[in-house]
Structure 1
Amino acid sequence: MKPYENYLIISDLDGTIIPHGGHISAANKAAIAEFVAGGGHFGIATGRTPEAAAGYLAGVEITAPSIFFNGSMLYDWQRHEILAARALHGPVLQSGETDDAIWPRFAAHCLEKFPEACIEVYTADSCNIISRPEHDDPRLPHEYYVYRHCPLDEVADLAKTPWLKFFVCDEPSHLKQLEAEAEAMGTSAVSNHFYSEANYHEFVAQGVSKGAMLAEIRKLPAYRDVKIIALGDYFNDQALLEQADIGIASGNAHEAVQAAADITGCRVEEDLIVWLLQNFDAIAKK
C-alpha cells in the first residue's frame, strides 16, 4: 500500500500555498508530486477562476475535482469539465417566479454608491468589470485573469449569463457600508457574502461555500472513503476547514480561521505542503 492512499489534500491558494504576490515554491511543488506519487489525491479550493488559477499551477499535478469561485463551481481539472455550478438568484415572489433582477439592481446601486470601487461580475467564462477602468483592482494586470470591461447592461440578464460571483474591491470602511446596503436591498438574505481579503467583499449564492462544495466531492464514488485534509487561511476558507476530516490553517491565517481549524501549521512562506508531509503521520491520527 502506498503511504498516501485514501487521502485527499484540498488547498486554498493565496495566503496558504502561494505567498501574496508570489508563486507556489519549488519545494511545495515537489511535496505535491511526492504526495500524488504516494497514492494521494490533490485538489485546490480557490476564489479564482480556473483560468486565473492555471497561471500559478504550472508543474502542479491536480488529480482531484477542484473548487473555484469560492464554492460556486466544481471543476474536473484534467478533463476541463464543469461538474457543478451554483449561480446567484433572487428571492422567490408570490407568483412563484424568482426575482433575479435584484442583482443587477444591486450592482447599479453599488456603482452609484461606491464610485471608486472595482466591481466585478463573474460568469463561467469571464470576469466582467462593470466599474470604470481607472478604479480597477491593481492586482489584475499582474494576474492570469481573463477579464473585460463592459457596461452592466451586457450582463444584466441572469437567465442568459448566470452570475457565479459578485465582487467588490474597495476600502474596508466602504465595504462595511456595502454590507449595510446589501441588507437594505435584500441581496444579503439571498446570498452568502464574506470577506476574502480586508478590501475584497464577495457574494455567492445562498448556501454556497468551499465547504458546501466539498460535500459534493464526498458524494463522488472515488472519494466516498477518502480522508480529506483541507488547508486555508481566511474567512472564505473557514467552512472548508470545518467540513474536512482534518482542517489545517496556515500560520499566517486569521485568528478566527485558526480557531476553527484542527491544526495550525507553518506560515505560507515556509512551505505548508512540505510541513504537512513532514508531520503527516501525526496529522493523519487526528
Structure 2
Amino acid sequence: MTPHLIVSDLDGTLLGANHDLAEVTVQTLRELAALGHHVALASGRHHLDMLPFCERLGGDVHLISSNGAWTFDPAGQRRQARYLAPALARALIDLPRPPQVRLNLYRDNAWLIDDHAPGLLDLHDATGFAYQVQASPEMNEEGVGKALYIGMPDDLALIEAEARELAGEQLHITYSMAHSLEIMAAGVNKGTAVSELLDYLGLPATRCLAFGDNLNDREMLALAGEAQVMANAHPSLAQDLPESRVIGHHRDAAVALWLRERFALDR
C-alpha cells in the first residue's frame, strides 16, 4: 500500500450543513488511517475548536489551524506557531473599521472578539468552543496568530485595502467566506503548512489529496497532486485551479463518498 496524505478543509468541505462530521465521514477517515494513510485537517478555525473533530476521527490526525499559523502532530504536540509581529498586530487591532464589523484575534489558547456576536457561536455548536469578549483597546498584540474581521463584504474590502497599504508584504490576506477577512503573517497559509507536513512525512506532493471550498484553500489545492474542489466552492476557485476536480456538495458528505470510491473502500 502506498501511503498518501489526505488533507481537508472543514467548513464548507468536510463538515455538513450542520457544521459537524457525518458518520460516513468519520468511518471513512478512520478506515483510511487504519490502512496507513495520513489524515490532516486544515482550517481557519482555532486548534482548540478542531480538537473534538480529531477525537471523533480516532485521534490519529495532523492539525493545521488558523490557516497555518499553528500546526500539531497526532499526539497533540505543537510543531509550529507563527505569530504576527506585535507591531503589525497592534496596527491591525487599531485599524479603523465600521461599528458593525467584529474584530477577532486568535491566540494560543483563546478566541477574542471585540463585542458579542451570538450568531457566530452557531458555527461551533458541535465543538462547544466560544469566544471571550475584550474591547479592542485592551487586546494584547503579543502572540496573535490570526486577525479575523467579520462583516459585510463592502466593509471588509475597505479594511483589506487599508491593511495592504499598511503592510501588505508583511501579511498574508485571504477570505474564508465572503464575510470573513483573515490576516496572518506573510508566508502563513495552508499550502505552506501542508508542504512542511509532506516534508515531515517524507511524501511528495503528488501523493497529497486535498479538498477545499474557499479562497483560503487556494495555496493548499495548488500544491496537491490531487486537488478536489467542492460543488459549493467559491466561483473563482475551480477557474483558478484548472487541474482540480470538482466533486459534490459538502452537505452530502461528498469528500467521504469521493474517498471511498478513490480508495475502493467498499470492494
- Name the TM-score class by shorter chain: 0.7 to 0.9
Is 1:198 equivalent to 2:168 in the alignment?
no
Normalised by the length of structure 1, the TM-score is 0.82
Offset at 1:277? Answer: 2.1
Residue among 74, 85, 94 paired with 1:108: 94
Measure, in 2, the Cα distance between the counterparts of 1:142 and 1:230.
23
Indicate the RMSD between aligned Cα atoms, in angstroms: 2.0
Match of 1:224 in 2: 203
Secondary structure of the 1:229 match is: strand
Unmatched 5+ residue regions in structure 1?
Answer: 90-99, 282-286
Q: Secondary structure at the match of 1:115?
A: coil
**For the structure 1 residues 225 and 188, does the alpha-carbon distance in structure 2 shift closer, same or farther, using more than 3 Å as the test?**
closer
Distance of 1:188 and 1:225 partners within structure 2: 31
1:102–1:70 CA distance, 2 compared to 1 (3 A): closer
1:247 lines up with 2:231 in the alignment: no
Give the match's secondary structure for 1:66. strand
> Which protein is richer in helix relative to its size?
2
Q: Which has the larger radius of gyration?
A: 1
Partner of 1:126 in structure 2?
110
- Indicate if the aligned counterparts of 2:4 and 2:203 stay in contact, CA closer than 8 A: no
CA displacement at 1:19 relative to structure 2:
2.2
More deviation, 49-58/12-21: 49-58
**Structure 2 SS opposite 1:121:** strand
Q: Aligned to 1:14, what secondary structure does the other structure show?
A: helix
Q: Given the alignment of the two structures, is residue 65 of structure 1 paired with residue 51 of structure 2, yes or no?
A: no
How far apart are residue 126 of structure 1 and its match?
A: 0.7
Aligned equivalent of 1:268, options 233, 250, 256: 250
| C-alpha separation in 2, matches of 1:141 and 1:248 | 27
Matches of 2:258 and 2:66, distance apart in 1: 27
Query: Is the 2:115–2:135 Cα contact (8 Å) retained in structure 1?
Result: no
Q: In the alignment, what sits opposite 2:46?
A: 49
Return the offset for 1:70: 0.6
- Counterpart for residue 262 of structure 2: 279
* Displacement after TM superposition at 1:177 (Å): 1.1
1:87 aligned counterpart, secondary structure: coil
Whether contact under 8 Å (2:69, 2:184) holds in the other structure is: yes
Aligned partner of 2:177: which letter?
Answer: E
Percent of paired sites with the same residue: 23
Residue ranges of structure 2 left out of the alignment (5+ in a row): none
Q: Name 1:85's counterpart in structure 2.
A: 81
State the secondary structure of the residue aligned to 2:183. strand
- Tell me how far apart the structure 1 counterparts of residues 88 and 136 of structure 2 sit (CA, whole Å): 13
Aligned residue among 177, 182, 189 for 2:169: 189
